[in-house]
Amino acid sequence: MTISRRKFLKTTSVSCLALAAGPSLGHGYELLELPGRMSKGPEELKAKRWGMVVDMRKCDGRCTEDCIGVCHEIHNVPFIPEAEHQVMWLFQEPYENAFPDRSRELVSKVLKNRRFLLLCNHCDDPPCVRACPTQATFKREKDGIVMMDYHRCIGCRFCMAACPYGSRSFNFRDPRPYVRKINPAFPTRRRGVVEKCNFCQERLEVGKMPACVETCKKGALVFGDLDDPDSEIRRILAESPHVRRKPELGTRPSVFYLF
């Protein structure tokens, strides 16, 4: 058998390529078909779209360390003294920072001296979700919570740039040494991921209200289903004038403020 040099080179190079390419095709990471099945928790609190009302007439800011403290403690949120590295799920800002779009001229004393309780707005149309390149942050269709899967976060911080409310924090350093009292039932985060309020998803699934709502003794925080016309939150919103942060952006926040 004779074979030309040209044909030999062609055949060998194509065969080598096929050998190299073979294993790399069709070996993507596939989810496993589990032998069991998964279902909802029996005690889970259900809603189509979770929302919160922050009644600033009742929240005078004197005990906000309590709700912020409880939230940060159960979620292992680190306490980092340097402002630029701070991580916050629930936090406070003065009126002009919380509502920069509203009139700042001749503001009433009540509003001016108040520190507004802020958290992730769990927007109906969340810009952070659109910005996330890995779908690490997403809106759950079943209950409207804007959640994060920290395993998928690559730390690009596009979501932080996209969030108009400053509700997201980046772990510039390993947060664990800065967690004051570690709650082993909830994971900490690692350096290089973004984190934010999750509307206490881990509590809702076992039938508990969010920790801040449960902690507030003054009834300033009301949590409920915005899609249910008979819910308490809808009754409050129907009765009292309310505002949302930066409504002109069209993100449709699920957190409402009463003044």
Partner 1 sequence: MYGKRWVIPGMILFVALAAFPFYWYAVGKDKPFPQLEMPKNAKACVEKTPFMRANHMRLLDAWRIAVVRDNLFVYTAASGKTFEMNLHKTCLGCHTSTEKFCDRCHTYNDVTPPCWECHLQTETASKGSAS
- The minimum distance between CB 15 and partner 1, in angstroms, equals 21
Judged by CB under 8 A, which of 19, 20, 21, 34 binds partner 1? 34
* Minimal distance, residue 188 CB to partner 1, in Å: 5
**With binding defined as CB under 8 A, does residue 173 bind partner 1?**
no
**Residue nearer to partner 1 on the CB measure, 140 or 244:** 140
* Binding residue count for partner 1, defined by CB under 8 A: 37
Among 64, 167, 169, 188, binds partner 1 (CB under 8 A): 188
Distance, in Å, from the CA atom of 152 to the CA atom of 134, rounded to the nearest integer, reads 7
- Nearest approach, Cβ of 209 to partner 1 (angstroms)? 16
- Report the alpha-carbon distance of residue 115 to residue 63 in Å, rounded: 11
Nearer residue to partner 1 within complex by CB, 55 or 143: 143
Candidate list 2, 4, 24, 39; residue touching partner 1; CB under 8 A:
39
The rounded distance, in Å, linking the Cα atoms of 216 and 90 is 13
Q: Which residue has the tokens 């076992």?
A: 206
Closer CB to partner 1, 35 or 241, in the complex? 35
Closest CB to partner 1 among residues 93, 228: 228
59: CB partners within 8 A, 6+ apart? 117, 216, 218, 220, 221
* Residue number, 203 or 246, with CB nearest to partner 1: 203
Considering the rule CB under 8 A, would residue 44 count as an interface residue with partner 1?
A: yes
Query: Would you count residue 172 as binding partner 1 (CB under 8 A)?
Result: no
Q: How far apart are alpha carbons 25 and 191 in whole angstroms? A: 33
Q: Shortest gap between Cβ of 77 and partner 1 (angstroms)?
A: 13
Nearer to partner 1, 42 or 241 (CB): 42
Contact between 43 and 206 (Cβ < 8 Å) = yes
Q: Which residues contact 196 (CB under 8 A, 6 or more apart)?
A: 89, 120, 146, 148, 167, 168, 169
- Token match 């659109």: residue? 130
Name the CA dihedral angle for 212, 75, 198, 117, rounded to a multiple of 10 degrees.
40
Distance CA 189, CA 196 (A): 11
d(CA 51, CA 19): 55
Question: Which lies closer to partner 1 via its Cβ, residue 27 or residue 109?
Answer: 27
Q: Which of 96, 125, 149, 232 binds partner 1 (CB under 8 A)?
A: 149
Footprint of partner 1 (CB under 8 A):
31-32, 34-42, 44, 138, 140, 142-143, 147-151, 176-177, 179, 181-190, 201, 205-206
